[in-house]
A and B are shown apart, each in its own frame.
Chain A
Amino acid sequence: MSDDAGFYYDGSEVHSGLTGRLSRAVNDHIRLFLLGPALLSLLVVFVYPVGVLLWSSLRETRGLTNEFAPTANFARMFSDPSFWNAVERTLVYSFGSLTVTMVAGLGFALALNKVVNRRVRDAYTTLILLSWAVPLSIVGLTWQWMFNGQLGVVNRILVDLGLLSEPVSWLGNSLTAMAVVILADAWSRIPFATIVLLAGLQSIPQEMYDAVRVDGATTFQRFRHLVLPYLRPSLFVAGLITWMFAFRAFAIPFSTTGGGPAGATETLAIYIHRFGVQLFDFGFASAVSLFLVVVTLVVAAFYVTRVLEGIREIE
């Protein structure tokens, strides 16, 4: 600060005028000035949109009508079987992706943790992380092509190996289509789970591995009595975050199947997109969005509580 900062450390103020008053205001409200920008951006990108969402969810916007009808959209939502079907599909999708992600992530983490040579391990870790860098819509398109009924590489390989007699229309069948989008979704989330679980594994002291071996544990007992308890916090963090993102997934199912066939892979996010963007029913789309936000917030609040508990324990 320059000479006319107007504030000495003994508390005396010697300057008046604009800069003097400004610096005094900054000093008096230092928290506001430091936290202000962050709070402001939160206000703009979160609180305001949620307000708008809430407002539009209270309006009936079907067809040409656009009027205030606070319960109409919610009543319709909860009584509409298509909404509940979308919820069910979203649960299948998110828990399917969660399961595949955690199992594969744990497998990769355990394998990477076994690699003694650091350079080799770093190379593998980088490769696994690369799939994280791929934009989700590109992931969807890639998987769509891989499982393409006529030209897809998966059909080609399976037919060449003689496992299939003729190409299968993977994305044309509701069951296989769901499996493909779940796999694609999991593929994009495995790196995150792997990194978190690998960090968890590396927090286990070498001495504990030695102790459990001398104590007489078999490989499975070592995993159950040593590795798993140590990994619990990492599993919790990786699992919850993976599920939260998978529950709101849009890009992958949308770019892979567009929600098809016949809505078989239509997650809530695509469902919202259909009503809001394609059918211009903003009120109903907002109501469903609000549902999505609330569910996610509840889970997130649970997560934050656990994390804060953890911090308090460390303190």
Chain B
Amino acid sequence: MSDTADRSREEGEPRNEQGRDSKVSLAIEGVTKEFTEDDGSTVVAVDDMTLDVYDSEFIVFVGPSGCGKTTTLRTVAGLERPTRGEIRIDGDSVAGREPRERDVAMVFQNYALYPHKTVRENIAFPLVIRKFPDDVVEERVAETVELLGIGELLDRYPSDLSGGQQQRVALGRAIIRDPEVFLFDEPLSNLDAKLRIEMRTELNKLHDRVGKTSVYVTHDQAEAMTLADRVVVMNDGRIQQVDVPEVVYERPANRFVAGFIGEPPMNFFDAEIDHAEDGLRVRTDAFELVLSPSVAETVAERDGADIVEVGVRPEAFEAVAHVDTAVDESRLVEAHVTVIEPMGSHHDLTLRPVGAGDDESAEYTARVSKDTDAVEGERIRLAVDTEEVHLFDATGENVLA
């Protein structure tokens, strides 16, 4: 929590030091992209999107499939024309410009290497077709492969390479151009789980070294959280929230972001709210909590906020036996344990409220420490960290964010 409190910056400001006062490298201004379906109907893929990406910033678009994140990326690349709005790269509008006339390089999901060219020819290709002199090409290829550690692959063909190697070559083909903006379209999603995590770390290091403005699209929130300077959460063609990963996690702007970011996902409960003397009383089918007076104050400030739902992350629960301080009634929860999933470092519990009977839909999840004495079928007493309870109004806005 303290981490969040330290951050007194405005939403939308970049995190990295070099970016703080730096120029806007990529500006997306009111971009809307509509597609016409075969039956003549119109689908809005991106809806009036505005975003500034600062120099050397690493921006990650995350959202479910069909949320418009890839369309946005393709629009920046020039592979799609926006229906309305404008893209500026390094201050210049690129409206009507072909991809090759924009200073962007892109890495694709399926690597998109030229199967008939060697690794060397693939990496050199963007320079060769721009008619760079041979010695310059050679020098830049050498630099690039050294950066990526793929020097021994130069004379092989893509079909002889593993997925990870192919993606490295694809990175090389982008890096060699030294573009203003890097675009990544789910570049790791075709790799197996272990390699994906390795490459993620490597991308992180690479960005630290190359330091170029990057826009990265993924549906994997772990990639979003680990890579991003700022995360852009999208749904239904609209930006839901733009902020640094910690804020997106700790203060999700709305119910969608709250449910999308975090694994296992946040638990939501229909709730009734009472203003009481000791704070804000929250009543759900699963528990009754009293939130601190400061929360009550915040809610009171947002006059007329009609809170209908509370969200509690699985991590906000802890078995009473493992809480150091005394647990008062106001944050105590009792439930039946229906499933215990040991994850090694902790247990994930599936819980059913005491009064819920056989109602499976009332179940929720808690993540507790691994030495918790939970028994399937028995009751357990848990304490809720009331600082981490999220309140949502009827429109899904987070009242506390």
Contact = CB atoms under 8 A, between A and B. Distances in A.
Given A216-B130, A217-B129, A225-B125, A211 B112 contact: yes
Contact of A226 (B99, B104, B114): B114
Contact of B112 (A118, A205, A229, A232): A205
Contacts of A218: 100, 129
A208 interface: yes
B390 interface: no
A211 B104 CA distance: 11
B114 A229 contact: yes
Given A214-B100, A216-B129, A229 B109 contact: no
Contact of A208 (B78, B100, B109, B112): B112
B106 interface: yes
A210 B108 contact: yes
Given A208-B114, A216-B130, A218-B129, 18 more contacts: A117-B38, A205-B110, A205-B112, A210-B108, A211-B112, A212-B114, A214-B104, A214-B105, A214-B106, A215-B100, A215-B129, A216-B129, A216-B177, A225-B114, A225-B125, A225-B129, A229-B116, A230-B116
A306 interface: no
A207 B108 contact: yes
Interface string A199-221: 00000010110111111111001
Nearest to A205: B110
B352 interface: no
24 contacts: A205-B110, A207-B109, A207-B112, A208-B114, A210-B108, A210-B112, A211-B108, A213-B99, A214-B78, A214-B99, A214-B100, A214-B104, A214-B105, A214-B106, A215-B100, A215-B105, A215-B125, A215-B173, A216-B99, A217-B100, A217-B129, A218-B129, A225-B129, A230-B116
B285 interface: no
Interface in B111-158: 112, 114-117, 125-126, 129-130
Nearest to A229: B116
A190 B231 CA distance: 54
B198 interface: no
B17 to A, nearest CB: 30
A218 B99 CA distance: 10
Contacts of A117: 38
Interface of A, helix, strand, loop or mixed by DSSP = helix
Most buried by B among A207, A208, A210, A229: A210
A205 to B, nearest CB: 7
Interface in A176-216: 205, 207-208, 210-216
A213 B112 contact: no
B401 interface: no
Contacts of A215: 100, 105, 125-126, 129, 173
Contact of B106 (A210, A229, A232): A210
Contacts of B112: 205, 207-208, 210-211
A207 B110 CA distance: 8
Contacts of A118: 38
Given A216-B100, A218-B100, A229-B114, A210 B79 contact: yes
Most buried by A among B105, B106, B109: B106
A224 to B, nearest CB: 9
Given A207-B109, A218-B100, A225-B125, A213 B114 contact: no
Interface string B43-81: 000000000000000000000000000000010011100
Contacts of A232: 116
The 10 nearest A-B residue pairs measured at CB:
A211-B112, A216-B100, A229-B116, A214-B106, A213-B99, A207-B112, A214-B99, A215-B126, A221-B129, A207-B108
A211 B129 contact: no
B129 to A, nearest CB: 5
A205 B158 CA distance: 15
Nearest to A224: B129
B371 interface: no
Contacts of A205: 110, 112
A229 B116 CA distance: 7
Contacts of B116: 229-230, 232
Contacts of B114: 208, 212, 225-226, 229
Contacts of B108: 207, 210-211
A118 B77 CA distance: 26
Contacts of A221: 129
B202 interface: no
A13 to B, nearest CB: 51
Interface in B173-218: 173, 177, 183
Interface string A216-260: 111001000110011010000000000000000000000000000
Nearest to A207: B112
B98 interface: yes
Contacts of B125: 215, 225
A207 B78 CA distance: 14
A207 B126 CA distance: 16
Nearest to A215: B126
